[in-house]
Structure 1
Amino acid sequence: MVFLTNEGASSSSSTHQWDYDVFLSFQGEDTRNNFTGHLYKALCDQGFDTFIDNDLQKGEEISMELLKVIELSMISIVVFSKNFASSTWCLKKLVKIFECRSNGQWVLPIFYKVDPSEIRKQDGEYGIAIAKHEEKFKDDIEKVQKWRKTLTEAANLSGFHYNDGYTEFEFIQRVIKEISNTISNHEPLFVAKHPVGIDIQAEAIELLLDLESNDVCMVGICGFGGIGKTTISKAVYNRIAHHFEGSYFLENVRERSKINGDIIQLQEKLLSKILRDRDLKVHNVFECINLIKKRLRSKKVLLILDDVEDLKEVENLLGECDWFASKSRVIITRRDRHVLTTLGRDT
């Protein structure tokens, strides 16, 4: 457990900047002139800055410019269609997308008239395509094995499965709603009207969090009320939230926990934001604790609990930090060290 006592600060404007809201990855011959084309138009009509690669595939290698576009996109939508795996171009982009996913980019798979199990098991058309790649790249079999592994990872993600049971319009509207929810969760926090001089404190906290470490790390920020604990933690959140699969800043925990029943609402809010499920409901504190343990243990998350008063609030909202996936990070702000030192002895 690490402590940083702040003795005065103001604000920060440091945030991760995305050039695009959405990057569309697809097999051109299958869907460019139908489903993906319609999805692209719907995204643009809703105001999402969306990149679609309209250049025809040239050669085997992906340009550095296109790789950079993938890196600078908040969300990648991958449209898996019948002939997706036959394209080395698509497979190479998929590998790059999943590399970016480890740095906080969200990946939404769409299974367009193909069953996710076919991709996961690599049978059917996907099995035939991968077998052809293995024959073609017999001198570089590791590359094909990476394609196999990434396809399996993608098929295991939660996504949308399109088949003839939906109208295309209805299906695309469901995708648009999901994208809208996700982007709203990535909006930077307002730190201060006139941000001045907080970057040094925010950088210090970021160093303590040691984002490269595989451990689950917790940092406490303590000090008197009004000295800038919340401001610092918001600035840190804006700087690093893009590194995580899910993140949430829970403000005014002490005050909101005093309201009868509001701890359940806080738990619901925390889970719904991280899981991107606006309809999530729980009936009691213990049910939500179990959900936190079950649903977040496989996610790399960033959680900030602002102005915590007692250990029970932490237990109700976080359970135990070892419930979270490796590389998760927790920040707790508190007026004195008592709760923080207790947590420090337990972790």
Structure 2
Amino acid sequence: MAIPNVSSSSSPSSSHPWNHDVFLSFRGEDTRNTFTGHLYNALIMKGINTFRDDLYLQKGDEISPALLEAIEQSKISIIVFSKDYCTSTWCLDELVKILECRKSIGQMVRLIFYDVNPSDVRKQFVKRIDMHENKVNKDKQRWKEALEEAANLCGWHLDKGNESDFIQRIVEEMSSILMKRTSLDVAKNPVGLDSHIKVMSELLSVGNDDVRMVGIHGIGGIGKTTIAKAVYNSFAHQFQSCCFLAEVRETTNRSGLVKLQKTLLSETLSMNTKLKVRSVDRGITVIKERLCHKKVLLVLDDVNKVEQLEKLAGDKNWFGPGSRIIITTRDQHVLDTHGVERRYKVQELSAADALQLLSLNAFHKSYPEEGYEELINSVVQYAKGLPLVLVVLGSFLCGRSKPQWESTIRKMQRSLDKDIYEILKISFDALDDNEKAIFLYIACFFKGEERDFVTKIWEASDFDPVIGIQVLIERSLVNVDQHERLQMHDVIQLMGRNIVHQESPDEPGERSRYGLMRIFSVFLRKIRELIMQFKP
């Protein structure tokens, strides 16, 4: 009796609509009341949703469409080969369908050889197909080919030994596989994700043997993590090992990089291992040694320092051929420094998608309630396509009356919702003093001004505007339009103004430095306008 460590690139596709964890294929008369019955009960007791056809469907001469659908909707198929398995045309049709699903949707297939040898499937079973005299040769040929294909797959062989222990080990492995392959929860209302997945699919080119790092960057609240989760779910089934390391920035600050290295190793190695990683340097060595031959999908979410990439995914040769590393960050410069050439800057939602996302959160349907059209358009214009704002405000306004909507709209013009403010302010807090001051001046006075004009103003002060503005651009807090004017998202601007207000909420005089700068900037702007009038 042996249970091999079976590793396969064929594993359940996370984007497929699964209704069952496991589908059991077996010859009922052989094992229904013995081995398979005990295995089924053990899987159910473990909380594994298992489809056993004889409990749900009545068998006839032909396999039913409902049973074929059940196979398609199962993450894993377990085939129990027993002495008379091939005497059942029903079982043989199941086998053909299961192997088709293995190829088409990445379904994981596991074999159990119960009181038979693996060689029996390749030799005796194939010969016994001819006993089905009432079947056409086309069916027989399909069955023979399926049996020969199955015989080449790895599986468990129970000949002699403790059946209870054998079943328990199968159940534990199924539980471990399903735990690792569980789809990530993407979003309550995943609007507009298909276009993002399409772009990322082209950048990743999953299937090529090169190792690629792809960055997803953009402003806080734009949906980087949501996109990364959706991409992870779509492609995880094509990799031997997968790991989604969430909240890298926060985890590093709270627990250190060693914890992240341990999590990475634990989730990507196929067996439950207790590797001792006592230092970051040791962790680097173990990652390189253990993963350099594995095809890995790794997501590093919310990275804010190059050091994190250097210690978790320092080089492409740390991972096996075909591996893909996805990095989400607010800071484009992190990707530049680590040499990540393939990248995707996430843009704001279109007006149509923004309206749909807001409606789903506010009204639980993809369009607004009658009479709320003007109100919801006001919120859409305010959010400027930022998913975070649409979700937070939509959820807050859900079930509220028109006067309450109107009051909220008036209020949001003055100050940000606390949850939105705290998420956006993470980017501000990461700036140094020079960058913070430049950001606040742009938010309060210089949005829409030419970059060169503002730079000249600051060059006469103690600021370093050239590098300061560049850092703000890299962190998606500021952008420069086609006319070289400084721009920023309206919500980011409101966040900046709220920061200034909170510095001295009850004493505006304490914010006089911003007032003086405003007066000075207006004065310079007037001078510039006069000069332009007298230019030949």
TM-score, scaled relative to structure 2: 0.49
Going from structure 1 to structure 2, the CA distance change for 1:279 and 1:214 (only over 3 Å counts) comes to: closer
The question of 1:39 aligning with 2:36 is answered no
Q: CA deviation at 1:280?
A: 5.1
Which residue matches 1:214? 207
Q: Alignment identity in percent?
A: 38
Of residues 40-49 and 253-262 in structure 1, the stretch that sits farther from structure 2 once superposed is 253-262
CA-CA distance at 1:342 after TM superposition: 4.2
Aligned-pair CA distance for 1:52: 1.2
Q: Deviations over 1:303-341 (max 9, x none)?
A: 3222344453454586456x245xx65432233141575
1:183 to 160, 178, 181: 178
CA distance in 2, matches of 1:339, 1:95: 51
Secondary structure class of the residue paired with 2:273 = coil
Residue 23 of structure 2: aligned partner:
23
Give me the CA root mean square deviation. 3.7
- Whether the aligned pair in 1 keeps the contact of 2:80 and 2:111 (CA below 8 Å) is yes
Matched position secondary structure for 2:152 = helix
Among residues 267, 275, 293, which one is paired with 1:281 in the alignment? Answer: 275
Secondary structure in 2 matching 1:307: strand
Task: Report the alpha carbon displacement of residue 187 of structure 1 after superposing the two structures with TM.
Answer: 3.1
- Aligned-partner SS, 2:112: strand
Residues 195 and 138 of structure 1, relative CA distance in 2, 3 Å threshold: closer
How is 1:1-347 mapped onto 2 (pairs within 5 angstroms)?
16-54=16-54, 58-59=60-61, 61-102=62-103, 103-116=105-118, 118-119=120-121, 122=122, 127-133=123-129, 139-140=137-138, 143=142, 146-154=145-153, 156=154, 159-166=155-162, 168-192=163-187, 195=189, 197-200=191-194, 202-205=196-199, 207-208=201-202, 214-216=207-209, 219-241=214-236, 246-253=241-248, 256=251, 259=256, 261-262=258-259, 264-272=261-269, 275=270, 277-279=271-273, 281=275, 284=282, 285-294=284-293, 296-297=294-295, 302-308=297-303, 309-310=305-306, 312-313=310-311, 315-316=313-314, 319=317, 323-324=320-321, 329-334=324-329, 335-336=331-332, 337-338=335-336, 341-342=339-340, 344=342
Partner of 2:478: none
**1:64 to 1:339, Cα distance in 2 relative to 1, 3 A:** farther
Q: CA deviation at 1:15?
A: 5.6
Partners of 1:233 and 1:331 within 8 A in 2: yes
Residue 278 of structure 1, CA deviation:
2.5
8 Å contact 1:85–1:129 — kept in the other structure?
Answer: yes
Output the CA distance in 1 between the equivalents of 2:73 and 2:27: 21
Match of 1:6 in 2: none
Q: Please tell me the residue identity of whatever aligns with 2:229.
A: K
Seen in structure 2, the aligned counterparts of structure 1 residues 260 and 22 have a Cα distance that, compared at 3 Å, is: closer
Which residue of the partner structure matches residue 10 of structure 1? none
- Which runs of structure 1 show a deviation greater than 6 angstroms over 4 or more consecutive aligned residues? 134-138
1:202, 1:233 within 8 Å by CA — same for their partners in 2?
Answer: no
Range moving further from structure 2, 222-231 or 30-39: 222-231
Superposed CA deviations along residues 12-38 of structure 1, whole A, max 9, x for unmatched, are xx9643111221011223212211122
Measure how far apart 1:234 and its partner are. 1.7
In the aligned structure 2, how far is the partner of 1:251 from the partner of 1:316?
Answer: 18
CA contact 2:204–2:324 (8 Å) conserved in 1: no
- Greater fraction of residues in helix: 2
Q: Contact between 2:204 and 2:214, CA under 8 Å: does it hold in 1?
A: no
Corresponding letter in the other structure for 1:90? C
Unaligned residue ranges in structure 1 (runs of 5+): 1-13
SS of 2:183's partner is: coil
Q: Contact conserved, 1:106 with 1:245, CA < 8 A, in 2?
A: no
Shift of 1:233: 0.9
Count of aligned positions:
309
- Paired residues of 2:76 and 2:108 also in contact (CA < 8 A): yes
Distance 1:231 1:282 in 2: 32
Separation (CA, whole Å) in 1 of partners of 2:94 and 2:268: 31
State the Cα deviation string for residues 166-209 of structure 1 (Å, max 9, x = none).
1x3332222222222233223332445x5463535544445436
2:92 is aligned with what amino acid?
Answer: L
SS at match of 1:261: helix
Gaps of 5+ in 2: 1-13, 344-536
The answer as to whether partners of 2:266 and 2:273 remain within 8 angstroms in 1 is no
Structure number with greater Rg is 2
Q: Match of 1:290, as an amino acid?
A: E
Q: Following the alignment from structure 2 to structure 1, what is the Cα–Cα distance between the partners of residues 36 and 171? A: 13
